Amino acid sequence: MVMTIRTGKPAKQLLHALAVLLLMMPLAVHAAAWPESPRLDAKAWAMIDARSGQIIASHNADEQLPPASLTKMMTLYLAFEALKQGRLSLDTPVSVSQKAWKIGGSTMFLDPRMHPTVGQLIHGIATYSGNDACIALAEHMEGSESTFAERMNAKARELGMLHSHFVNATGFPTEGHYSSAGDMAILGAALWRDFPERYKLFDERDFTYDGRTQPNRNRLLWTMSEADGIKTGHTQEAGYCLVGSAEKANTRFVAAVFGTKSDRARAQETRTLLRFGFNHFVTKRPAEREIRRQVEVFEGTEDHVWLRPASDVWVTVPKGSESSLSFRLRYDSPLKAPIRKGKKLGTIDAVIGDKNGKNDVIISFPMVADSAIEQASWISRQWDGLRLWLRHMSSNAIEDVTGEQTTAPETK
């Protein structure tokens, strides 16, 4: 039996009033507009929130450019990873090859008679950008710098660095060696996220090896109280580059600036970008209860399943728009059992509204099943199939009469 729902004039007036009310609700939100990014005297730049992963400001962020010594961030990432996995030890002495000895540029002044430890090489790379230390470490870990570069490229792909290709461990100018401001910001955030216990190396202002003390070239460490890293770079082709990081309260930004005109300029431009972030944005961590959703399940031993975020949720929003932040679930309905625990079933969109009533999705998160639901008996599955058919036919009847399609709400 098909039920036909007819709508008279009062019902139509009620539907119209509800529609007007729904349209008016966003107008009550007075969220700040997304702040306009500052203009820097640089070839390219990108800044991301290290917790949320959101891009806060960018210009030519995907342009493939020579990264100079910013490359060494990837060299250190692989070293930190090997230490974490137990494949490398800080106390292990390392041989210095002729290639490492003769590389030139920024060095630890190593020579083949020396046997620095892995820990000393890491300090030398992080603090004063030793090219010789990079080559010695790469050869120790993989046998050759070229093989180490293959590992670098594999890790870049894994981290989502889509505009990078590494040929060496140092960033020494060579054909086919490039990266981008966006990729280096991603890498800087990954170093902080994946190796928090090692990240403090980037805050060292100097390091002493073999009686020589050399300073860290990152001027941000002296000129911005919130700064705690991360790496400088310079060649004639690349210009002066810097990936800088800073944290204030729960907000941590990583800014990558490529192609400035001087050592002083790269620090100044990066500081401008970081200050812009702190002045205009705030990072929020919503409670899980704000994000969890219960949705209907068919053909299962349970009628509903809770969905939760797959990982911790952080959201970066313009200051003043915090009250307009909301979360909306998207999923393919109807959901049918069996459902395994942890299976991705939908997506939560973080949405902010502006004073003109426009809602913008600023970031999305995968939602997974909080529990497993087994498939129901044959009879129960047939009954649910009938329920779905009746629901579908009822929706079609309403659409035929009113000209409007109605669907059950997806969130609760």
Omega cis (within 30) before 230: yes
In the block, residue with structure tokens 């990072």: 283
In the block, residue with structure tokens 């915090």: 322
- pLDDT > 90: percent of the chain: 78
Q: What is the Cα–Cα distance from 51 to 315, expressed in whole angstroms?
A: 8
**Per-residue tokens: 362:** 């600023």
Q: What is the pLDDT of residues 165-189, one digit of tens each?
A: 999 999 999 999 999 999 999 999 9
Q: 90: which DSSP letter?
A: T
DSSP alpha helices (H): ranges in 195-312?
Answer: 220-223, 263-280, 288-291
- Output the CA–CA distances (angstroms, integers) from residue 76 to 166, 188, 409, in the order listed: 14, 11, 49
Residues 6+ apart with CB under 8 A from 44: 59, 60, 61, 63, 65, 180, 181, 257, 258, 259
Q: In this model, does residue 406 exceed pLDDT 50?
A: no
pLDDT band at residue 390 under the 50/70/90 scheme: confident
Q: What is the Cα–Cα distance from 159 to 167, expressed in whole angstroms?
A: 18
Task: Give the catalytic positions in this structure.
Answer: 69, 72, 129
Q: What is the pLDDT of residues 2-58, one digit of tens each?
A: 233 333 443 334 333 333 333 333 332 333 478 998 999 999 999 999 999 999 999
Buried b / exposed e across 284-320, counting CB within 10 Å, b at 16+? bebeeeebbbebebbbbeeeebebbbeeebbbbbbee
Q: What is the Cα–Cα distance from 251 to 284, expressed in whole angstroms?
A: 8
The DSSP code sequence of 142-187 is HSSHHHHHHHHHHHHHHHT-TT-B-SSSS----TT-BB-HHHHHHH
Q: What is the Cα–Cα distance from 33 to 26, expressed in whole angstroms?
A: 14
Buried b / exposed e across 126-163, counting CB within 10 Å, b at 16+? bbbbbbbbbbbbbbbbbeebeebbebbeebbeebebeb
Q: What is the Cα–Cα distance from 324 to 348, expressed in whole angstroms?
A: 16
**Per-residue tokens: 172:** 């020494």
Q: What is the pLDDT of residues 272-319, one digit of tens each?
A: 999 999 999 999 999 988 999 999 999 999 999 999 999 999 999 999
Residues 6+ apart with CB under 8 A from 11: none
- At residue 358, the pLDDT reads 75
* Domains parsed from the chain with CATH numbers: 44-279 (3.40.710.10), 286-402 (2.60.410.10)
In this predicted model, which residue has the larger pLDDT, 155 or 376?
155
Q: How many CB atoms lie within 10 A of CB 94?
A: 21
Q: What is the Cα–Cα distance from 368 to 308, expressed in whole angstroms?
A: 6
Least confident of 93-102, 362-371, 381-390: 381-390
Least confident of 134-148, 218-232, 357-371: 357-371
Which amino acid is present at 396?
Answer: N
Q: What is the Cα–Cα distance from 310 to 290, expressed in whole angstroms?
A: 14
Q: What angle do CA 221, 77, 125 make, to 5 degrees?
A: 50
pTM (predicted TM-score): 0.84
Q: What is the Cα–Cα distance from 156 to 234, expressed in whole angstroms?
A: 21
